[in-house]
Amino acid sequence: MEKQISNFIRALRSAEVRVSTGEALDAARAVAMIGYGDRPLLKDSLACVLAKSEAEKEIHDRLFDLYFSSAPARASSAQDSSESRDDGRSEEPANAAERLSQLAEEGNEQALASAIERAAEASGLNDIRFSTQVAYFSQAMLRAMGGEALQARLLEALQVRTPEADAEAQRLIDVRRTLTMAARERAERAFDIFGAAETERFRDDYAATKRLSAIEASDMARMKLLIAKVAKRLAVKHSRRRKRTQRGILDVRRTMRANAGLDGIPFNVIWRQKKKDRPKILVLCDVSGSVALYVRFLLLLLFSMKEVIPDLHAFAFSYRLKSVDDILEGHEFDKAMKTILREIGLGSTSYGQAFSDFKMDHESKIDRRSTIIILGDGRSNYGDPRLDLFRDFAGRAKRIIWLNPEGRALWGTGDSVIPRYAPFCAQMSHVATLKDLERAIDEVLTAYD
């Protein structure tokens, strides 16, 4: 495949546009048919082959404009490089410096762009990943173009104290400035094409593994986008038919009955099916000061997956427990969380009182499909933990999952009653990061698949 189109496809893949091998070959065939001359036709043709959604088309169009903004120079560069290889000779540094000086002074933008493209290829510019590498690759491109020889000539001119030498030095300084700006502009464009998406992915990975308690207000916008990606990923994974056909397991009895009118000849083969429960989640959140930030991210993740979990009910407590479904569904999320924390987050934490309120007002919501998720540190200020109620909830529900933001080493210390609740939980996990929350919700939904 031609290197120019293969690099463009690599840029799309780095920006999370899924391009299969077959689609890449189709793109190469399209380029072979229409060429690079008609830019709008090329753009539309590649978009038809490579972009499969509106979001991917937006990414494709943006990267196309960036990548092919110097397409003529790229083609010229490739031609010049091939000619240079055919000659079998490399240009002397001094001659290269002189030629670059002439190009910069004459204002031959096409020839200068071709030289920049050759230097970009020689320095491996397409491997750029981070913005901090722009300066490095700019200098590498200058060296590839003969910048060291140009610098040596400049130093020689500066050492001679004559008006002619001063004029020559000023000319060389202007040339160096022109080349430096051109190289930096090319490196910045390469970063936008190949590195920007990698940098964003690196930042997302860092945010996903950062302790939620350390998330700052400036990180919230990124975290919301990241949670939306996590929710979409989990939704795609778990959005499937609740009845899944198990091929290879024949239901003999039903097959014979269905074909009784055909003398028992099994024209209509019936396979055994296993009925799957639809997810039903009841989430009880401790919104006291030590846990409130974790609650924000858990609820945002769960309520971003309403298509997968339509039967979702949320409750919040510090001392008394209340349903917060109406608050979350009736307000923008940030405003809803402020209301929840203001109305429920104050007061001394009491898990026993919260479970008593749940028993009195909401126990009817528990059935065999219900997974109860509890997010809290299990610190109840030495109050009665009401294990009798918790045991009853565990007996009625499908399972109970406890997510604890506190490290395992602290479980059972001080007023922590986590070890006393643990025997009634199907799973008790330490959650500190968004990755931990994603893993926990994935495991909950897997139990319904």
**Could you tell me which residues come within 8 angstroms of residue 400 by beta carbon, excluding any fewer than 6 positions away?**
371, 372, 373, 374, 390, 393, 394, 424, 425, 426
Is the pLDDT score of 191 beyond 80? yes
- pTM: predicted TM-score of the whole model, two decimal places: 0.71
How much is the pLDDT for 266?
65
Instruction: Give the best-scoring range by mean pLDDT among 34-43, 50-59, 158-167, 393-402.
Output: 393-402
The three-class DSSP label of residue 227 is helix
The token pair that represents 37 in the structure block: 């001359």
Comparison of pLDDT for 311 and 152, the residue scoring more: 311
Buried b (16+ CB within 10 A) or exposed e, 302-337: bbbbeebbeebbbbbbbbebbbbeebbeeeeeeebb
What is the sign, positive or negative, of the torsion defined by CA atoms of 188, 193, 194, 197? Answer: positive
Q: Which residue has the tokens 């528990």?
A: 366
Q: What is the mean pLDDT of residues 91-108?
A: 60
- pLDDT, tens digit, 9 for 90 and up, residues 376-391: 999 988 999 999 999 9
**pLDDT tens for residues 197-244?**
888 888 888 888 998 888 888 888 889 989 998 998 888 888 754 444
